Chains A and B, each alone.
Chain A
């Protein structure tokens, strides 16, 4: 059995709205394990709470309820130096390569920031040496040490963001849609880089994405979310070959692809329900073509089925 790096336990996060008694149910009671050196993907449509969950996992957002246990310790109970020590191991890569780098800092300063914050004993020269090493790791030429972010293209900026995230050899990196703002040809470069780095640094990724083809490439396990709830968790190959939850199946079906072009396919009807007024029972029942009476009234539990976990009344 592989070691669990981060265990999320019953995470609940609700955001207040302008109306007093209404809340956005971003994440509703989700538990997850992320194992050592694996990539767990969180997929789902916008508003399903995947980004919120990712940020809760590393303590960027504090959830209303639940625990995030990093190597046996709940990060929400820690503060001061203990928390700092834990945060060293939990890093994040953002979606927007333009907003995630401070426009007034040079590449060198950006990548050095985590080192300066945590490795206080390093001399300036040592920090610079380390930064240059990191730049080489992510494929940014050393000559660009003194350049500013605006002098780089989106793909190169994302590489700088990756260098910053791996500077402290973290155990877990949350990748929040790291390639969705990039062009196709650049996207494949960055995905390969993320894979190489994982092999080299042996980090775990919590990979948040709405793009199932990217997830299929990079993830070992997939967690499909719908409106703050987990629909299905399992090995990538299993889920993509034989999705059990109707939502997973329809989601896979909906991807426009070259292989399936022109085939008649089932298209999900209706809109995503608002996370403020979540449907009763199974949250997916308003769009589900197999909806039955029980789905409308009783919320399905996540239970084991065919070697994975599914939350659906219909799946046997």
Chain B
């Protein structure tokens, strides 16, 4: 398969009180060309940190201490600032949760998008403006020419996010990183934006890395999902498989703890306890103290990334692939 981005054993550490705290501890992620890959997890699990590593935006006291990020044959972790600047915004672009904070409030939105294109392509202003209006039409901004001269505060949240998407897509990037792009939006607007992203992905062949905490969003548009917990990828699989054959207790816990419409529940399932502090991680499996199925080995050893099928990775002692029998045995003690 054609992977546009390959992350191998990436480690990001923060120096806190003289010790290294690993915000990312050996994660592997593949993003195939033209697909939408979801990264799900709770706050502090390292999903935004992953995005920042790819963008080369990890700031001190954090730093990449190991592993590789391969983007179309370029090793990003060893890239200089200048080379990075050529890639950022052109081949990889990013959109954020709150479009208001990532747009300059005193510059017209059209101009801001124009700047993005002029920076990377040597074209005239008139051409650039034409391109901006085209992209505004493409991302569904009504009256694009009028909107070109609007200031960010004159637009609604949904329109601002469309502007951001337009700005990110204008150089036809190979990879679009979307960090919680719909979290600040209302559901009806969220649905519009998700549909737009899916369409853009299909039409332009851009891969999208979708960072979200919302399993519904993942189910809606993602092709593959990586579930992260405390700086590790605990499970990854194609979306359908992840939801239908959930293997990791954390994933299934998350899925069960979401209230579902159309189902009368007396109580919700809860994952006990809190997300562990990355300064104070358990010795064995990081989920061990919150897991319902903890065994002795979970407390003492770190589980390895096991592929229980070719596309389904789980990092848990409950699952093992036995190669001899050419089949996988999944221990399912829970449902």
Contact = CB atoms under 8 A, between A and B. Distances in A.
In the complex, A touching B, CB below 8 Å?
A: yes
Interface of A: 45-46, 153-156, 183-189, 191-192, 195, 210, 212-214, 216-218, 237, 240-241, 250-259, 261-262, 265, 267-269, 271-272
Among B42, B194, B255, B274, chain A packs the most CB atoms within 10 A around the CB of B274
A192 B268 contact: yes
A187 to B, nearest CB: 7
A168 B90 CA distance: 58
A153 B157 CA distance: 29
A189 B270 CA distance: 6
A192 B186 contact: no
Nearest to A189: B270
20 contacts: A153-B275, A156-B274, A183-B43, A183-B275, A184-B215, A185-B254, A186-B42, A188-B268, A188-B270, A213-B261, A256-B216, A257-B216, A257-B220, A258-B216, A258-B243, A259-B262, A267-B188, A268-B188, A271-B159, A272-B186
Nearest to A269: B192
Contact of A256 (B186, B219, B259, B270): B219
Contacts of A183: 42-43, 213, 275
A268 B267 contact: no
A305 B69 CA distance: 59
Contacts of B195: 267
B101 interface: no
Contacts of B189: 45, 271-272
Interface residues of B, number: 42
B259 A191 contact: yes
B264 interface: yes
Contacts of A153: 274-275
Contacts of B260: 213, 216, 257-259
B259 A214 contact: yes
B186 A184 contact: no
A32 B269 CA distance: 32
Nearest to B41: A183
Contact of A185 (B42, B219, B243, B261): B42
A316 B267 CA distance: 36
Contact of B269 (A188, A214, A259, A265): A188
A83 B159 CA distance: 44
Contacts of B43: 154, 183
B191 A268 contact: yes
Nearest to A236: B264
Given A183-B43, A254-B190, A212 B261 contact: yes
A217 B216 contact: no
B268 A217 contact: yes
B187 interface: yes
A267 B191 contact: yes
A292 to B, nearest CB: 21
A269 B140 CA distance: 11
A217 B270 contact: no
A188 B257 contact: yes
